[in-house]
A and B are shown apart, each in its own frame.
Chain A
Amino acid sequence: MTQLVLKNVSKTYLVGDDRIDAVNDISLGIEKGEFLSIVGHSGSGKTTLLSIIGGIAKPSSGTVLFEGDDIYSLDGDRLSKYRCEKIGFIFQFASLFQNLTSVENVMLPVVFKARRDKTAGDEKKAVELLGMVGLGDRVNAYPSQLSGGQQRRVAIARAFMNDPGLILADEPTGDLDEETEAEMMRLFAGMNEERGITFVMVTHNTELARQCKRQMRMGQGFQVP
């Protein structure tokens, strides 16, 4: 079943008087349960494409269909609901809130859920997710008390909090040592196999990209064969 369809998607920015075509006419279909990597040099438009899929950057033209719905035709609240409940984001940079503990950072997406089931045991689930990324003993630590790699793992745990159907990961293992990187990739593969979660991962690392079921290459905003 095709979960995600991109039709002739382009994104153009204006920086001062300069027009930057970050994404050019990309068409793509992603099946449910796929593990797609997007590789390309810096500035090739990978992150912009990921953001368009994630509903945080409206394309200048083209459509993005998620399970048949054009996400950019949704009103603001329904688009937020899509981001909250269907998507799990792992950012390229440190994205934790410094005044929240690890467990609170992981629980944050639940706070934004439209219908929050207060009996669902959010905290228990967040702690379990932290345990899954090897931080079961750091649940009450603040980001400043964690290493860069540990912070990245908290962000990974957070992406799974609302049981999304699609994980969008932008250089998810960037700060991790080789051993932890391998561990995280095993975790992603497990989630992908066992739970059928779709992964779209942006990476520079061709070795990592090769571990994915499917690869896509980008250059200067275009899909490169």
Chain B
Amino acid sequence: MKAFNIHTFAIKNLKRRKFRTGVLAFSIALIVSVLVFGFSFIGSVGLGIKRASDRLGSDLIVVPVGARGYAEEVLLESKVKSFYMDKGLVERVKKVEGVDEVTYQTYLATLQGLCCDIPEATVVAFNQDSDFIVMPWLTKAIGRRLQKNEAIVGHESSLNIGLGLMDAVLFGARFTLLGALEKSGTGLDNAIFISDENVEEILRKGKSPLKPDQVSIIFVRVKSGYDPYNVGRAIEGEIVEADVVARTDIGKDTINALKDINMIFSITVFMASVLSALLAWAIFSATVNERLREAGIMRALGARESHIMRLFLTEVLIIGCIGSICGAVMGTALSVLLAKSFTLFKNLPVDLTVWDRLILGAAGFAAGTGICITGALAPIQRIKKMEPLFVIKGDAA
């Protein structure tokens, strides 16, 4: 015979009431899955935006006045946008106090059939001498600089995962595709990267609206000891035709919009949690009423209050754990399966790491088990305090 103790006794009690156990476990699973599912999205957007902006490795971005939203769409959402400012601004930014390193990129939008033979994408022309954004990725991928008429694509580019790597005509010039970069988690994962040495030829072919000496975005690293916000304000003060966005403010509008959704969602989850706790209370109140005599007999046989508590708590814990684990798995699976089904999240970098998902799952598990215990605690407290003879005779029921 297997060991016989309070825990095996608790399991046997649960098996005796399969339907009731199942209903409570299922309700806990539902609430936990909603919790994990919802917070996966809310959390992943916030984390995704933060990680994407961190991976860019720039403290500030400088864009043409009014183009801040476009820049975020390119950097976070992989949208194809063109916006330009005078290249002379690069030198002016460099001179602002507190600026350490500066590099720039020029974004060109491809149009299949007009200039290019690939579907719509952003072509990023970057300066390999000053760059600190793409070069680390490039070095990792091919270990050398790009030559003229060479290109490399982002990890999520259709040329990597859809059409396959091949040579491509971009703005009238033929480019050799060398390979794909590793996933960066930024909107640039969908872009095609070329050296800015090619810009001159692109201008000459006249297949792009780009004008000579124009760039789209300037990335700035500030010197150690300088506050990026102060440096950003200084840049905006010096250069009126530019907007500056600090790294921590990238995607702020999206995050603010999500705050409202988050609040609505949190209130809903809270109310559902209260309902689940009430369900646990109702089910355990019924269970306790049914088992008053059993508890009385156990007390007469020598069970301490702590034994009764442990027995019922073990039952609650098992239900809570089973429900919470199922809920965490269901919630995670739903969030993975539906990750790109919501318009709001479609283009955002919403991938969570395994570690993130484990933390969310653990939080869901703790919440589900906690809800179950909270609901069942009062009935359990009631049963353990009763005088055994009363409950045995049924007077307490």
Contact = CB atoms under 8 A, between A and B. Distances in A.
A56 B387 contact: yes
A123 B13 contact: no
Given A48-B389, A58-B387, A91-B297, A113 B16 contact: no
B392 A162 contact: no
Interface stretch (B198-206, B301-309, B319-327): B301-309
Nearest to A85: B302
A104 interface: yes
B9 interface: yes
B249 interface: no
Contacts of A107: 4
A84 B307 CA distance: 12
Size bracket, chain A contacts: 35 or more
Contacts of A48: 389
Interface stretch (A25-33, A75-83, A184-192, A209-217): A75-83
A57 B301 contact: no
Given A56-B388, A80-B304, A91-B392, A111 B5 contact: yes
A160 to B, nearest CB: 12
Interface string A91-114: 100010111100110011101110
Contacts of B304: 76-77, 80-81, 112
Contacts of B12: 99-100
Given A104-B4, A162-B302, A98 B389 contact: no
B303 A112 contact: yes
A77 B1 CA distance: 29
Contact of B300 (A76, A89, A100, A162): A89
A54 interface: yes
B227 interface: no
A84 B303 CA distance: 7
B15 A80 contact: no
B272 interface: no
A111 B4 contact: yes
Contacts of A85: 302
Nearest to B389: A57
A8 interface: no
B300 A112 contact: no
A75 B393 CA distance: 23
Interface centre among B4, B13, B298, by most A CB within 10 Å? B4
Nearest to B17: A99
Contacts of B388: 51, 56-57
Contacts, number: 83
Interface in A19-69: 48, 51, 54, 56-58
B294 interface: yes
A81 B306 CA distance: 12
Contact of B389 (A51, A84, A122): A51
B298 A112 contact: yes
A77 B296 CA distance: 15
A84 B301 contact: yes
A76 B307 CA distance: 12
A57 B9 contact: no
Given A56-B388, A56-B392, A97-B294, A89 B13 contact: no
Contacts of B68: none
Q: Which 8 pairs of residues, A with B, have the shortest CB-CB distance?
A: A84-B302, A57-B389, A56-B388, A112-B302, A80-B304, A99-B16, A51-B389, A99-B12
16 contacts: A51-B388, A77-B305, A80-B305, A91-B297, A99-B13, A100-B9, A100-B12, A104-B4, A108-B298, A109-B301, A111-B4, A111-B5, A111-B9, A113-B302, A158-B301, A162-B302
Given A56-B388, A111-B4, A158-B301, 18 more contacts: A13-B395, A15-B395, A51-B388, A54-B300, A56-B296, A56-B392, A57-B389, A80-B303, A80-B305, A83-B301, A83-B302, A95-B297, A99-B12, A107-B4, A108-B298, A112-B303, A123-B1, A123-B4
Interface of B: 1, 4-6, 9, 12-13, 15-16, 294, 296-307, 387-390, 392, 395
